[in-house]
Amino acid sequence: MALPVFSMSRAAPVFAGAALLLSLAAHAQAQTTPASSEQVERGAYIFHVAGCENCHTDTANKAAPLAGGRGLKTPFGTFRTPNITPDPTHGIGKWSEADFIRALRDGRAPNGDHYFPAFPYTSYTKMTDADMKDLRAYIFTLPAVAKPNLPHELGFPFNIRLGVMVWKWLNFTPGPLPASSTKDEAWTRGRYLVEAVGHCAECHTPRDRLGGLVKSMWMAGSKDGAEGEGAPNITPDPATGIGEWAEDDLAFALKIGMAPTGDTLGSLMADVVENGTSKMTDADLAAMAAYLKSLPAIVHKP
Ligand code: HEC
Ligand code: HEC
């Protein structure tokens, strides 16, 4: 009898050890490595510049941050943003890092569904993997809210998710920004902040009838930008754009929310400044301004 008992007691720790390793591995797969405070801090910065809360918080109804429900009016109908708090049932609490990256990079849900481009993944796709991971780490530190999602209110045929597949084929190039060999570091950083994280073009570039951004009119202003509101021309054209603004003035305007003329930046831009650009470092604001001032000037009064 002694022998089997002996070998069992030897085997037990091995089993326990293996089980622990397996459960740790499973945990790592679902949760990824625990975020360091530096990672969470970096994620918070990206979160603000990316303006996630501007759409995912129903401020008009004083709802909890990121719990969704805000209505976004578009020519195709009204979208209701989903809950992106870490709630496991109603939010994204069960999402792995890969699920999160797939949503931002490819505009696809964990079940493979295509997201409507009212979610500006068309810009976020240009972000780095590292920034997406930091962003998720930060969002997962925020309070979970058990609030169910509301359905979108879209007319036929725009309510058909499969149609988005065709739209993406026409209008969407997934993947991070290519490196630039000819421009300096500040310009490259500015381009990244404007085009990828800040998604400025989503409001400041006009759209065609199917809602695709018109590339030849990049940042030249849009009559019906987000939520049926126009956004001005921010190319360096002196008459119709911001050509008269010095680079420093532009950076300062984005920091304090006031144009060099003394006009307050209002409507949707007020949120962009308050939750986003006002929290950016001076170096990043200067980089953004340098990039915007380097764009081709386009004469266009939206
Ligand atoms: C301009 C408004 C807008 C902004 C800004 C925005 N989103 Fe969204 N987001 C949406 C809409 C609308 C949907 C729903 C898309 C759909 O149903 O196809 C969505 C969907 C999502 C989803 C999918 C949720 C689910 O349950 O399937 C995630 C995740 C998400 N957004 C994360 C983010 C993050 C992170 C940011 C900031 C980097 C962000 N969003 C910024 C509008 C926005
Ligand atoms: C959600 C839509 C939206 C996004 C995103 C957005 N803007 Fe704006 N922007 C606007 C609107 C609307 C105005 C006009 C504000 C007003 O009339 O007071 C504006 C105004 C401006 C102005 C002032 C132009 C002028 O002639 O007065 C600048 C500069 C500007 N935006 C830069 C940016 C930059 C840089 C980004 C990206 C970080 C950005 N915007 C992202 C909607 C947006």
Mutate which of 219, 272, 273, 281 for ligand 2? The one with the most ligand atoms within 8 Å of its CB, which is 272
Mutate which of 42, 55, 275 for ligand 1? The one with the most ligand atoms within 8 Å of its CB, which is 55
- State in Å: Cα 104 to ligand 2 middle: 22
pLDDT tens digits, one per residue of 256-267 = 999 999 999 999
Q: Which pLDDT score, from 0 to 100, does residue 204 have?
A: 97
Residues of the chain with pLDDT under 70: 1-32
103 phi, psi to nearest 5 deg = -65, -45
Residue 257 tokens, joined: 């929310």
Atom 6 in ligand 2: residue holding the nearest Cα: 200
d(CA 17, CA 139): 33
Which of these, 42, 53, 40, lies nearest to 275 by C-alpha position? 53
Domain boundaries, the chain: 35-176, 180-302
**pTM (2 decimals)?**
0.91
pLDDT tens digits, one per residue of 284-300 = 999 999 999 999 999 99
d(CA 137, CA 32): 10
For residue 49, which amino acid is it? V
Average pLDDT, the chain: 90
| Cβ–Cβ < 8 Å for 268, 225 | yes
